[in-house]
Structure 1
């Protein structure tokens, strides 16, 4: 990818009453109509995995490469297929997005979306994600 700038990314996920929050050093890659946030997953269960979030005005796509591979797309009021690849095979996912809001200026700001998740055709619950980005602190 082209030139980028370093940002600080906080990912907050809410499922029912369980909230998780993780922070990463990430890179923002601006493109004509989209932008991309790329960061390295640092959790032991994710192994060596790079996550790329493609940010558009009306679509968010989360792509993971490495030890874990998955793809999920979020478009308001639509069921969109995705997948999660394991050593045992591919798990089929579907997401239905209820809310999607992108408020970024040059990669800094907030992205929020709420969605329902189906795994292999069965409901896996409703989720709310918030990605907060801010300038990286200079050392």
Structure 2
């Protein structure tokens, strides 16, 4: 990856745009920070972006710039939609067993603590393996 970003003088990257991917985005962003190449990223919850890179919320990186919704934004919209429905306010959650799924169920930065703070309950059915190998007919 470093060679692709660094390149030769004539084909060196001057900016790298990356998006999503629980494994790809952090690796690309960390490489760009190390090589001092600007790297805007998007479509990955901002809490997951910061946490997946081993930083605390509020940390700012020198060469990488992330713009996307956060788990708090997603839960606010979800909570607003649920207020329009009568009955129980429990949602079932299915998150895979990779880094992004782990971050979504994280006890401090994940979806559940933000939803709980807004009076919503989640039923986390546990991580599923991806790719799922038992989804046949």
- Shorter chain as normaliser: what TM range? under 0.3
> More helix by proportion, 1 or 2?
2
Q: Which has the larger radius of gyration?
A: 2
- Normalised by the size of structure 2, how large is the TM-score? 0.27
